[in-house]
A and B are shown apart, each in its own frame.
Chain A
Amino acid sequence: MSTTDLGMPAVRDDSRDTGLPTHSPAGQGHLRGTTSFPRAARTELADTQLRRNLGKATGIIRAKRAGVVAELEDWEDLRLAGSAIKADVMARLPELLEQLEENVTARGGTVHWARDAEEANRIVTELVRATGADEVVKVKSMATQETGLNEALEAAGIAAWETDLAELIVQLGHDTPSHILVPAIHRNRSEIREIFLREMPDVDPALSDDPRALAMAARAHLRRKFLSARVAVSGANFAVADTGTLAVVESEGNGRMCLTLPRTLITLMGVEKLVPTWSDLEVFLQLLPRSSTGERMNPYTSTWTGVTPGDGPQEFHLVLLDNGRSAVLADPDGRAALHCIRCSACLNVCPVYERVGGHAYGSVYPGPIGAVLTPMLTGISGADDPNASLPYASSLCGACFDACPVRIDIPNLLVQQRAASVESHTRPTAQDLAMKAAAVAMTSAGRFRAAEKGLGLGRLLAGREGRITSLPWPASVVASHWTGARDVPAPPAETARQWWERTGGGA
């Protein structure tokens, strides 16, 4: 048995099926905001409270991560292995998925496939309906955020209770997530206290803003829900193809509650979250906790394989989601974005993210990885597409690559996506042309050398002051936006390459 007939009406029109790599359809889920990044960032930057909250939180997590990463002498070896395992997964993805399906099915689980967000939401909604339940408890899951599952369930009259503390804060605050790991990172303790006082019916009016007191309020609020829930919905951090095992990594025990107590468990997972073998987890269970929460190990990791008689859910459904991933896989360089294990280390080190926060990106995947993954999943429909501006939400400083536990070359992918963004425009702008030229130059050492030769000309323009205040045509057209607001330092007399050739490295 590979798939299950749910007795659903044939609501899907499959006449558009092509069997070819496909972007996430427009208008579904939460992969696209309504305004471009620069415009949204301007609003967010005006919020000084937001900047203080983010600066404090990302500062703490950066220090913790650096400490536990430095503890492992083989950190670089783990990163190399993690990167290679994921490259291997991409090269064998269809076969590994079929293997996963076979093993989950053999252990009493049922596997479903979803082309896109709407189909995934419909499958989950029907599965919940079939149990007769009108509410579900949820483990934090980026995949269900991506598809907008909560809204779909609500529309079907099913209440979805987020149980992760940060997701709960977002849900009760009628807010949207702004970070992959800590969706309420933009809220400080006193804001959270106000949300709890307003939204939790039984909360003690004398609740303080001490994080411990707030965590205890969440415990009390959700306890009855956990103990009585009949259906849970989760995501997955990893799925092991050769055993059919799923893994969820968490801290609070809300994940264990959802994965253990209800009778029915529904897991929605992007197709890329596979590892080939059980022993491959030895790499990722070291990389993920240290990169994400800055701990040697997160408090709880649960693994399960299908259904275990007498223990935990007796009905298990796994929904495998494409929603644009096939389009990303079709890009030889871009497919590395599918290696992402959602640790959020790149967000925490990004100077752009730290200042604007996650909402400005419009997508559930913010920060450096979101700025490449989001436009790759959705495609860029033209100059007016808000996702067209995402690849520019970066200074290309490279901190994201250094922090990435699976060595995704995010800066390089950002440059490539800038070129893709340019190609999608009907009328290229000056910045587009410059970026396209940069993308071409940077992808070849020979071309880069040629581009550097132009530097000598720059010194003539700079004059005695050593600053370039305006550029002659045609450069003035291309760069006028830049020099209109700031001076450009004159290029040095020789390039690093020329210096090396002349001096042999200064020896």
Chain B
Amino acid sequence: MSAREEVLARLRAARDAGAPREAPAPVPRTYRRTGAHAPGSPAVLDLLTERVEDYRARVLRVATDGEVAAAVARCLAEAGSQRLVVPADLPAPWRAGFGGRSVLEDSALAPASVEQLDGVDTVVTASAVAVAETGTVVLAAGAPGQGRRALSLVPDHHVCVVRGEGVVASVPEGLARLDPGAPLTFVSGPSATSDIELDRVEGVHGPRRLDVVLVG
């Protein structure tokens, strides 16, 4: 027998031998599947801001898409960034504040090397969805402005633009909007560890600085 046949045979026998006397009840979906605030509402954006800041990440609120460039420029200036990387399809208007900084363009067809990514200061990306209750921003690899996974990982500073209409209150609402066919990265604050005496320290292997530009 192959290992596959053997393991499946064992599990079939076990599944039957250990079957409970009563068939399992249907899964009770009585938990909240929508949050208290509507997607994109002012209340949900406020909650997202509070929860992201709680992870010691920074949130810059702007009213319109036209103000994103200025907010991004502020993040870059405050971090002292000189070298940037962006997904090749990052919206052009967001780049207006890059000034004279060097900008590496990355795409799946023309990927930057890991060494190149290690040599840049900041990555600027869009995002797919944000979950307010948990302060989570989700990037879908390959989706517009979100780039390959390595982009938002290797540089030490991540500026992530979140559009208001992509902000939902709860985890179930967030997952419902996501397609697992593409690799997804759920980001809740900068990288952190609690491995030493369970004391939280921000900034380990992933970006040590996370700035969220929230539009709306």
List the interface of chain A (C-beta within 8 A of B): 2-3, 12, 14, 17-22, 53, 56-58, 60-61, 64, 73-74, 77-78, 80-81, 84-85, 87-88, 90-94, 97-98, 112-115, 119, 163-166, 169, 182, 184-185, 188-189, 192, 211-212, 214-216, 218-219, 222-223, 226-227, 240, 243, 245, 251-254, 256-257, 259-261, 271, 278-279, 281-283, 285-286, 289, 293, 295-305, 308-312, 320, 322, 325-332, 334-335
**Given A300-B206, A309-B108, A211 contacting B14 (CB threshold 8 A):** no
Docked Cα-Cα span, A461 to B203, in Å, equals 64
Q: Could you say which residues of chain B place their CB within 8 Å of the CB of A309?
A: 108
CB of A222 within 8 A of CB of B205, answer: yes
CB of B153 within 8 A of CB of A253, answer: yes
**Given A87-B24, A303-B184, A322 contacting B10 (CB threshold 8 A):** yes
CB of B3 within 8 A of CB of A114, answer: yes
CB of A97 within 8 A of CB of B8, answer: yes
CB of A22 within 8 A of CB of B10, answer: yes
CB of A305 within 8 A of CB of B183, answer: yes
Task: Beyond A296-B134, A309-B108, list 8 extra A-B contacts (CB 8 Å).
Answer: A78-B31, A91-B23, A113-B2, A251-B192, A252-B193, A286-B171, A297-B135, A299-B187
CB of B15 within 8 A of CB of A253, answer: no
CB of B205 within 8 A of CB of A279, answer: no
Interface residue total, chain B, C-beta cutoff 8 A = 82
5 contacts between A and B (CB under 8 A): A74-B30, A254-B204, A256-B149, A285-B171, A311-B150
The stretch from B71-79, B88-96, B120-128, B174-182 touching chain A is B174-182
CB of A91 within 8 A of CB of B10, answer: no
Docked Cα-Cα span, A188 to B114, in Å, equals 35
**Given A61-B198, A308-B141, A297 contacting B134 (CB threshold 8 A):** yes
CB of B109 within 8 A of CB of A119, answer: no
**Given A215-B203, A303-B180, A311-B149, A252 contacting B191 (CB threshold 8 A):** yes
Q: B97 contacts the other chain (Cβ, under 8 Å)?
A: no
CB of B12 within 8 A of CB of A94, answer: yes
List the interface of chain B (C-beta within 8 A of A): 1-15, 17-21, 23-33, 51, 54-55, 108-109, 111, 114-115, 118, 131, 133-136, 141-142, 148-150, 153-154, 171-172, 175-176, 180-199, 201, 203-207
> Which B residue sits closest to A272, measured CB to CB?
B11
**Given A94-B15, A227-B114, A113 contacting B4 (CB threshold 8 A):** yes
Q: Could you say which residues of chain B place their CB within 8 Å of the CB of A256?
A: 149, 153, 185, 205-206
CB of A94 within 8 A of CB of B8, answer: yes
> Which B residue sits closest to A253, measured CB to CB?
B206
> Which A residue sits closest to B186, measured CB to CB?
A301
CB of A305 within 8 A of CB of B11, answer: no
Instruction: Select which of A64, A74, A257, A326 is within 8 A of B205 by beta carbon.
Output: A257
How many A-B contacts are there with CB distance less than 8 Å? Answer: 287
Docked Cα-Cα span, A60 to B21, in Å, equals 41
CB of B196 within 8 A of CB of A192, answer: yes
CB of B18 within 8 A of CB of A332, answer: yes
Min distance, Cβ A414 to any Cβ of chain B, angstroms: 18
Docked Cα-Cα span, A7 to B199, in Å, equals 48
Min distance, Cβ A163 to any Cβ of chain B, angstroms: 8
Docked Cα-Cα span, A228 to B162, in Å, equals 32
CB of A305 within 8 A of CB of B181, answer: yes
CB of A60 within 8 A of CB of B199, answer: yes
CB of A310 within 8 A of CB of B15, answer: no
**Given A84-B25, A282-B172, A329-B14, A240 contacting B180 (CB threshold 8 A):** yes
